Structure formats: C-alpha cells, structure tokens
Amino acid sequence: MSGTDAHGTKIEFEAFAQGTTPKELSDRIHTKIVELLNKFEIHFENYTTTESPTHKRFVTEIYKQIDANGYILSIEENRAYCQVDKKFLADSFIVGTCPRCGFAQAQGNQCDNCGSLLEPEQLIKPICQICKQSQIVFKKTKNWFLDLTKLEPKLKAYASSHPEWADNVKNFTEGLLKEGLKPRAVTRDIQWGIPAPFAGAEGKVIYVWAEAALGYVSATIEYFEKLGQPERWKEFWFGENVKQVYVQGKDNIPFHTVIFPGQLIASGQGYHLPDQIAASEYLNWIGKQKFSKSRKIGVFWDDALELLDDPTYWRFYLLYLRPERRDIEFTWEDFDKAVNGVLIDNIGNLVNRVVSLAGRKYGSIYPQASVNPDILKQIQKVKDEYERSIEAGYLAPALRAATDLAVVGNEYIQNNKPWEGNKPEVILTGLQIIKAIVILLEPFVPTFSRKAYGMLSLEKPTLEDVLKIEPGKTLGPAQVLLPKVDVKALKEKYSQMKAG
C-alpha cells in the first residue's frame, strides 16, 4: 500500500504559480507517478492518493476519535507569517539554519541533515521560500495539536518492544524519546487540504504530515472496498496475526516510529502498530551533493528513463548499492561496476554460456545426471542468507548473496571445463546454479529474470524451485539478456540533459 501526498502548501503554491488549481496539479502529478511506477516495474496492490474520498473520510473519523479521547489540544501560538506574501507559512516553506547542527537548509519542521524535529521559530535567519525574502514575523493564531507529551509513556513502551529494529531506526527513535516529546500542530492556516474536524477549527485544514501516514490505513480500506469486501481491511490492522513492514528513507523514521503509532494509539481503536521499519540512509550525488531538481543535481527517475529506457539497469544499481547502513555517493564508476561488471559480465554471460553449452553438448536438454552436492549446499546457504536478509529489512545483502552465486558458477565452469568431453554433471550443476541465481534475482530485476526463465523453460518459479533438480527438461534458445552500457556515452548524454 502507498500513495501520493496530494495536499500541503507546496502544491497550493505551485498550482498558483502555474495558473491552475491544486486539485488539477496534484491529479496530474499522481498520474505521472503511477506511470513511472509501472515503467519501473514497481507493484502495489493499491497505489492511491490522499485526495481519495476514502482517505478524507478516514482522516476525519480518526481525528474525531483522537479528539474524543483527549489527545487533541488547541493552543494560541505565534506562527510564521510572511509580510510580503501576507499569509501564514507552512513549515516546509521556511528555510533557515538548524539550531542543533548549523545546517543552512533546514526546513521549518525538520532538519534533513541531523534529523531533528523543529518548529519554524527555532530556525536561525528564516527565509520565506515563496518570495525568497526574510520578512517573516510571528503572528498569533490558534492551532490544534496532537498531544505527544501525553502519549509519550505509551510510545516509549511501544518502541522498547522492538529491540529488533535496525540501529538507525532505534537510535533515531530513542534520541527523540530521550529528548522528550512535545505537542505537535496538526492544523494549518491554508486552504488546500482536509478540513479540520475540531470545534472552532473552521477554515483550517489538517497539516499534510499529520494525515499522510494515515493513508496506509485508508489505502487498505479503499483496496478492499474496490474488491467488494469492505470489512477485510481489518485483518491487516487489528490483532497479532499480521506483520507490517514500512520502507522509507531515514528522514521519515520519526513519522513512522512516533507520530503515526501515536495517532493509532490515540484513536483508542486497538490498531496493530508498525512492526518493521526498513529505513535506508541517503543516496547522494557525485561529490556528496544532495539531490536537487531545481539546481539540476542528480538523476531523477523520469530523467533516468530518458538516459536508459530499460529500468533493469537502474533497479539493479539502486538495490545492489542500497544505502542501508550509511549514506552512499552515486558515481558513474560504481554504476559501471554494478551493471556492466556484476549483472551483465558475471551473471548474464554465465547464463548465456551455460545454456549455449547445454545446447551444443546435450541438444538443449537438462542432462540426465546428478547435481554436485557441494554446490547444492552452497545454493542452500545462499538461499538461507537471502531470506534472512530480506526478513530483516536489508535488500542489498540479499541481492549480493544472489550475485555471489555467479562467482561460484563461473569458477565451477572454468575449473571443470564442460566443453571438453562428456560431463553431464557439470552442465546440470551449471544449469542449477544459474536457475538459482535468476529466481533469486526476480524481485530485483524482474524483466531480466523472466527472459532467463524462457531460456531455462521455467514457468512462474517460486523460491522453493531454487533447489529443485529437473534432468530431462527441454531448454529454450540462448540469448543476450541485457546489452552492456557505454558509460562514457551515458555521462555525455547526462551532461547534455543537464545543460538543457
């Protein structure tokens, strides 16, 4: 389940700048995202939008429940107001220096450098991102807050019940809880969003951060409503016979371990709380620069398909080097090593070589023989490691475990020389290795694996087929699975795109 965050000041402002409505703009962006998800072969049971009627209804209902349970406060406070634009500013439209780490591009709600949750008045030298001027004053206005202070004991108990969380998730969350939680505003003085359902909050909307994560629930409700099973969503949100996994970047950790669970607890409905938080570190651009579309730093996913129209290249690179324990920096050299060196040279060539040998030596039939038992043990070991890594929320080690089998396969073929004489066991063992590799690769590079399935005569194999031995089965014709990338030409194309 996932979806497009359709609300907030950024959409409202950008729509104004483009001479359109926030609704039209958010719908257009949502359509584009869905198109790119399909092109990148990323599958959701339901990829929705926070503009859906189901989401609006659910957000309204849960905030009424939270309010009725005493977890909503109304506080008159000073909020950032731009004297040039004559409007209250959402936190994300204020940029200044972080008071904690000194990062100059901290936003009014969070510093992406150190991860601190902030309020606009804490920023040093705040600047309005609409007019780019420092004409910000703080005017009194009443807003409604989620009482995280009151929720803190329950959130501490929740966090302490998950010792298995990854270090980055655990450390981030423990740091926030140690610092002490404060009430956090859930309403804003803007027009575009879900109307706040609190008495006296007419004209205000629920702040985008305060309703976006609730979309996990509403997306599930919407999915089963479309299937004509309107009560089945509860199977995934109540009780213990369910495991929830959330995947995001590290800047979203506090929203998934503190704020979203806090909302669910405050509703009093007994929701199942998030189990696994698989949060990656950052992928930065060459020179450790942060990606920025406005400053033309980095490759974005719509640009990526203009550079290379097969998403297999990008999927493999991003998952092979997924930054799970530390920030990493994109380099063309790493892209070359991962895609050309590992996927194409080590794996693609091995698959082609073994299938071609089987075609020449045994008439494109899996030979009648036994698979080398030591190799079978190595395949089992890799399969176990692969499953453990994915279950723990680490995708890169799982992918690397699969690719390491290609090293085993290439060494085995080279040492045993199946092109010499009659060696059916060597060919069958080689076929068993490449079969295991391409099945393990399918979640990462599905098109690549499906092409290989045609060569190996596999139909919708499962993980258990990795160790299944099938002598006598007919093979398909050998083919090149993926052409190599001319990285030098790719860099030149990127430079031209950036200049344009």
Task: Tell me: pLDDT of 500 over 80.
Answer: no
The predicted-structure confidence for 103-112, as pLDDT tens digits, reads as follows 998 988 888 8
Please, what's the b/e burial string for 392-404 (b: 16 or more CB within 10 A of its CB; e: otherwise)? ebbbbbbbbbbbb
Give tens-digit pLDDT for 237-290: 999 999 999 999 999 999 999 999 999 999 999 999 999 999 999 999 999 998
**Which of 100, 201, 226 lies closest to 141, judged by CA?**
201
* Amino acid identity at 198: F
DSSP string, 436-468: HHHHHHTTTSHHHHHHHHHHHT--S--GGGGG-
Q: What is the pLDDT averaged over residues 156-166?
A: 96
Mean pLDDT of the chain: 94
* Comparison of pLDDT for 129 and 6, the residue scoring more: 6
**What pLDDT, on the 0 to 100 scale, is given for residue 130?**
80
Q: Specify the range with the lowest mean pLDDT, choosing from 83-97, 210-224, 299-313.
A: 83-97
Residue 99 has pLDDT above 80, yes or no: yes
pLDDT digits (tens, 9 = 90+) for 412-461: 999 999 999 999 999 999 999 999 999 999 999 999 999 999 999 999 99
Paired tokens of 467? 């160790």
What pLDDT was estimated at residue 129?
83
β-strands 94-97, 106-107 pairing: antiparallel
Q: Which tens digits make up the pLDDT trace of 131-157?
A: 888 889 999 999 999 999 999 999 999
What whole-number distance in Å separates Cα of residue 432 and Cα of residue 467? 8
Can you tell me the mean pLDDT for 186-191?
Answer: 90
> From CA 30, how far away is CA 7, in angstroms rounded?
12
pLDDT more than 70, % of the chain: 100
Residue 88 has pLDDT above 90, yes or no: no
Position 489 pLDDT exceeds 90:
yes
pTM: 0.89
Confidence of residue 309 (pLDDT cuts 50, 70, 90): very high
Distance of CA 48 to the CA centre of its chain: 15
